[in-house]
Amino acid sequence: MNTAIYPGSFDPITLGHLNIIRRAASIFDKVIVCVMVNSVKNPMFTLDERVELINRVVSRLNNVQVETFSGLLAEFAEQHEPAVIVKGLRAVSDFEAEFQMALINKKINPKLDTLFLTASEKYTYLSSSVVKEMARYGADLSEFVPYEIIDDVLAKSGNRR
């Protein structure tokens, strides 16, 4: 079975993340969305909340599962071999850090490849930080996050629809 591991902080999951998950799910037999512990400082959502939100959003994608991991990504990948890491590339600004991470992961585990999917044009501007900022002002989040989680994001930031 060929497996893709899609790591990130997902604080919270956005339509950009979901776009990458859907596309990976159509290429690979299995996609594991891996919520990395300690990947964000002062997260808006706890780890368990982030996992619950992602599960809600991917519930109809049968070959997608959600896990958490607190160690090195290369170690997580080793537990699921053979697997590749999938990442979304939004802009040139993502490239340098992502390229460096891919090389480090390969250094730790030479069998581990990283595959980059180009962000959908619609979502190149989108990040979890943008979502949090918009939520703080009670903005319409329908273009940013999956509809199933809009109320949770607004409620967390002290706003309700």
User: What positions carry a catalytic annotation?
Assistant: 17, 41, 90, 128
Q: Is 119 in the site for ligand ADP (CB under 6 A)?
A: yes
Contact positions with ligand ADP (CB under 6 A) in 47-106: 87-88, 90, 94
Q: Is 126 in the site for ligand ADP (CB under 6 A)?
A: yes
Cβ 133 to ligand ADP, closest distance in Å? 12
Q: Is 128 in the site for ligand ADP (CB under 6 A)?
A: yes
Residues 6+ apart with CB under 8 A from 96: none
- Burial 141-155, CB ≥16 within 10 A → b, else e: beebbbeebbebbbe
Q: Would you say 74 or 119 has its CB closer to ligand ADP? A: 119
DSSP codes joined into one string, 14-41: -HHHHHHHHHHHHHSSEEEEEEETT-SS
- Cβ 10 vs Cβ 35: under 8 Å: yes
Which residues make up the interface to ligand ADP (CB under 6 A)? 8-10, 14, 16-17, 20, 87-88, 90, 94, 119, 123, 126-128
